[in-house]
Structure 1
Amino acid sequence: MSAPTATPSTVRDTLTDRETLRLCTAGSVDDGKSTFVGRLLHDTKSVLADTLASVAATSADRGFDGLDLSLLVDGLRAEREQGITIDVAYRYFATGQRAFILADTPGHVQYTRNTVTGISTSQVVVLLVDARHGVVEQTRRHLTVAALLGVRTVILAVNKIDLVDWSEDVFRGIEAEFTGLASGLGVDDPHVVPISALLGDNVVVPSENLPWYPGPTVLELLESVEVHRGRSHDLDFRLPVQHVIREHATDYRGYAGRIDAGRIRPGDTVHLSHGRTTQVTGIDTADGPVGEAAAGDSVVLLLADDIDLARGDLIAGAGRPTEVRTFPATLVALTEKPLAEGAAVKVRYGTALVRGRIAAVERVLDLDGNADVEKPDAVNLNDIAHVRIETAAELPVEPYAARGAVGNLLLIDPASGNTLAAGFVGHRLRGE
């Protein structure tokens, strides 16, 4: 019997049903992230012919022997001139098993905030290290951020393994150090792969130069790892109110927002501030009324009682968080302005924006493998710190969960409006 012939409809159905994985690359400067991403795109045949021709011409102009695959990612003029990655570069590619959305993030310490952005939306993080240098401070920093953000699968690509003569001993030493760090931080699905992004070994195609490594390539891991989603549907219902819709002619009052967690149906009981409860009588959407809505849906809730709610209020299911004015948080500092004890800030939590202050700076995490800095004078750019925040109004905060479905916040400079830090309610690292 002959094999069935693919038709446009079957191809379209296959593409529609194919799972999408969001991943991020990170690591220290000059570890070869852009070359790695370029190799991944090139070897999965995800580069258009005219783009490849342009890269070939630029590579020749620079005197590069062959293709400088990093040019497929380093698109900003400043990046090409300096040979570094500054911004987060997003690329899209696909194989027969999955579609991928890839964020290539900077390696320089001063651009750690960009790396935080890339990791925050990723389900898998690929960390690169230079086999000659092994695990360095930026490796620890990026692994710590991944752990804080709830990423469970981290792949360490030990790059430039050819420059240490394909040494298994070098690889095993790096592997042992990394898996120990990952375990201590609570990353429960670590993988370590020896690669040469420049030559193509073990990125997409298995290497013939590493007979001592029988494991999968990086792409094979990306195609097969379980996609750990936030599971925001499994949490209790949470809807931060964005807008109250009133139509006086029809006596219509609805509470609009995007569902952060859980599910809701007409007839369900919801909990409001100050111990108030009511029932959901209807759920409106842009496409009309629906019988159920879940995390990620933008809806307008109709309630049985005429209750005075406003932007920033929370409509919750069972287990509504207690409203408090002081709580612990872990911060990643995003600007050069230090955050010292007593500093005035605005706290963005959900749709609420309230005045607050840094009540205490408890410690800054050490990323060199030494002791944490207890009670430092301030939190500086790119520091990861444990603090205590106090707000002028009560907030229904709860520990960070489901990859940010609940428990995430921003600290904003009240004078300039600049974002000072991204934060997570509670201290989330294992052993703390």
Structure 2
Amino acid sequence: MSTGGAEAADQTCSTGRLPGGLLRLATCGSVDDGKSTLVGRLLYDTKSVLADQATAIEEVSRRRGQDGPDLALLTDGLRAEREQGITIDVAYRYFATPARRFILADTPGHVQYTRNMVTGASTADLAVILVDARNGVVAQTMRHGAIAALLRVPHVVLAVNKMDTVGYRESAFTAIADEFAQRARELGIADVTAIPMSALTGDNVVEPSTRMDWYDGGTLLSHLENVPVGADPVGKPLRLPVQYVIRHPSEHRRVVERWPTGQLASGVLEVGDRVVVQPSGETSTVVGLSVLGKETDSVRAPQSVAVRLADEIDISRGDMLTAGPAPQLLRHITANVCHLHDRPLRARQRVLLKHITRTVPAMVERIDYGIEVTDARRLPCEDGLSVNDIGGIRIRTAEPLAVDDYPENRRTGSFLLVDPQDGATLTAGMVDVRTEDRHLQA
């Protein structure tokens, strides 16, 4: 199957990219479901671990009296986590196979670290939700499923782990897979793939299992290598948030031109395109594009670019160049949020709203409801949102923002709320323009 890191690295150097592109994935599961062991197995069996690191893990495992390497040690790197035997922070792992590159967000399993899972899954194309074959679908399983649905993660893998503890029985796997599939449909998760495996023994993680001949699907790694990467940002309307405006001497005029620069959040930009500057609404034509100092005729997401416009218009950091269907221009924003800070979020609270490169003063007008994430029920929320709470709020901003509906564009449909006093990140939000009162639009 995969020969792992070194060979993939050689291919990346020679071609500049891997054939399958980049897959961002997040792993999540209840405590003791074997998530750290699964991540360690992926890294170990794809030969994505340095030789001296593998030797150190094997030696530590031998001193503990274990027969084989404790692969969980490859991921639980913090001393406090090792002492408690749990994973409490999001750890990002990078590895590659000849087929694809991967960025893996290893998220914690405890309920009180829901915010960490939201952080890890917010940019994921795929979520791996672990289930202990002995315990089946539990409340935390559905909590992770509901968060994946809320964050619009395109693909979900149900990893039914520890199949060795139930005798590799097909009936045990089928019961769990059927129950989760039904609950996932209720949450609106469209793409679920269930895989029986044992991270401890390596069955169906990287190599196919010889103990489950009743299973005719692929391994976890083969699925990760072949799953389509989420919605193509190139096929979406142009969104270019302005990061910085550089002063560039003109070759034809005795003036210094101002070139807006930034990374395309979505779409394609070509010389000759007509663009609109948001939120001012001014228009101009693209007459030049520069990538790393070299002129080009077109760029596509997620490339970074400097843009020369035909007209001298007022444009600065925080503005956005757009084309095609326009974003919503709003000062009243309805959103689903996850509260990240120990201090509660309350109605009438003044905050700063950071939307890509634009930061504006704002106020939480009201908190409409909390969400019971195990079944997506809406609950009264009179005392505000506490840490790890997920709910629906309404925000009023001091200036209009050009936003998209989060399901349509995860970059331009998301934001952060920041404490204006100490700069602490308070809340992560996902815009829901479908429920906006149109008469309140800017």
TM-score, structure 2 normalization: 0.87
SS in 1 for 2:367: strand
Pair 1:341–1:85, CA change in 2 (3 A): same
Alignment of 1:190-339 (within 5 A): 190-228=192-230, 230-246=231-247, 250-272=255-277, 273-339=279-345
8 Å Cα contact 1:332/1:422 also seen in 2? yes
Distance 1:9 1:82 in 2: 39
Equivalent residue, structure 1, for 2:159:
157
1:379 to partner: Cα distance: 1.4
Pair 1:96–1:257, CA change in 2 (3 A): closer
Amino acid at match of 1:235: K
Distance 2:301 2:181 in 1: 33
8 Å Cα contact 1:150/1:402 also seen in 2? no
- Indicate yes or no: 2:69 matched with 1:63: no
Runs of 4+ in 1 over 4 A off after TM superposition: 8-16
Percent of paired sites with the same residue: 46
Distance 1:219 1:417 in 2: 40
Residue-by-residue CA offset, 1:296-329 (whole Å, 9 max, x unaligned): 2222222222222222122211322242210211
Amino acid at match of 2:272: G
SS in 2 for 1:174: helix
Equivalent residue, structure 2, for 1:355:
361
SS in 2 for 1:409: strand
Among 408, 413, 426, which residue is 1:420 paired with? 426
Alignment of 1:140-179 (within 5 A): 140-179=142-181
SS in 2 for 1:359: strand
Distance 1:39 1:428 in 2: 42
8 Å Cα contact 1:410/1:422 also seen in 2? yes
Pair 1:298–1:23, CA change in 2 (3 A): same
Pair 1:88–1:428, CA change in 2 (3 A): farther
Pair 1:42–1:367, CA change in 2 (3 A): same
Equivalent residue, structure 2, for 1:122:
124
Equivalent residue, structure 1, for 2:88:
86
Distance 2:345 2:313 in 1: 38
Equivalent residue, structure 2, for 1:368:
374
Amino acid at match of 1:225: V
Distance 1:251 1:48 in 2: 51
Distance 1:109 1:283 in 2: 48
Distance 2:17 2:345 in 1: 47
138-147 vs 386-395, which moves further: 138-147
1:351 to partner: Cα distance: 1.4
Amino acid at match of 2:152: G
1:32 to partner: Cα distance: 0.6
Amino acid at match of 1:174: I
Residue-by-residue CA offset, 1:79-136 (whole Å, 9 max, x unaligned): 2222222232233334443333322222123333332232223222111111222223
Residue-by-residue CA offset, 1:192-224 (whole Å, 9 max, x unaligned): 112221122222233333343332221222222
Residue-by-residue CA offset, 1:274-297 (whole Å, 9 max, x unaligned): 443222222233323221122222
Distance 1:267 1:16 in 2: 29
Amino acid at match of 2:414: N
8 Å Cα contact 2:199/2:205 also seen in 1? yes
Residue-by-residue CA offset, 1:233-275 (whole Å, 9 max, x unaligned): 1122122222233368633122222222212222221113344
Amino acid at match of 1:63: G
Pair 1:186–1:260, CA change in 2 (3 A): same
Pair 1:30–1:285, CA change in 2 (3 A): same
Aligned length: 422
Equivalent residue, structure 1, for 2:52:
50
Distance 1:427 1:133 in 2: 39
8 Å Cα contact 1:148/1:428 also seen in 2? no
Pair 1:51–1:243, CA change in 2 (3 A): closer
Distance 2:144 2:412 in 1: 22
8 Å Cα contact 2:248/2:259 also seen in 1? no
Pair 1:25–1:366, CA change in 2 (3 A): same
SS in 2 for 1:377: coil
Pair 1:263–1:193, CA change in 2 (3 A): same
Amino acid at match of 1:410: L
Amino acid at match of 2:287: T
TM-score, structure 1 normalization: 0.89
SS in 2 for 1:339: coil
SS in 1 for 2:372: coil
Amino acid at match of 2:335: A
Equivalent residue, structure 2, for 1:77:
79
Residue-by-residue CA offset, 1:43-64 (whole Å, 9 max, x unaligned): 3333333222211221123233
SS in 2 for 1:347: strand
Distance 1:195 1:28 in 2: 16
Equivalent residue, structure 2, for 1:30:
32
1:352 to partner: Cα distance: 1.2
Equivalent residue, structure 1, for 2:186:
184
8 Å Cα contact 1:158/1:171 also seen in 2? yes
1:383 to partner: Cα distance: 1.7
1:425 to partner: Cα distance: 0.7
Distance 1:41 1:221 in 2: 16
8 Å Cα contact 2:90/2:107 also seen in 1? yes
1:419 to partner: Cα distance: 0.7
8 Å Cα contact 2:11/2:98 also seen in 1? no
Which 5+ residue runs of structure 2 have no aligned equivalent? 1-6, 436-442
8 Å Cα contact 2:112/2:388 also seen in 1? yes
Amino acid at match of 2:128: V
Pair 1:317–1:16, CA change in 2 (3 A): closer
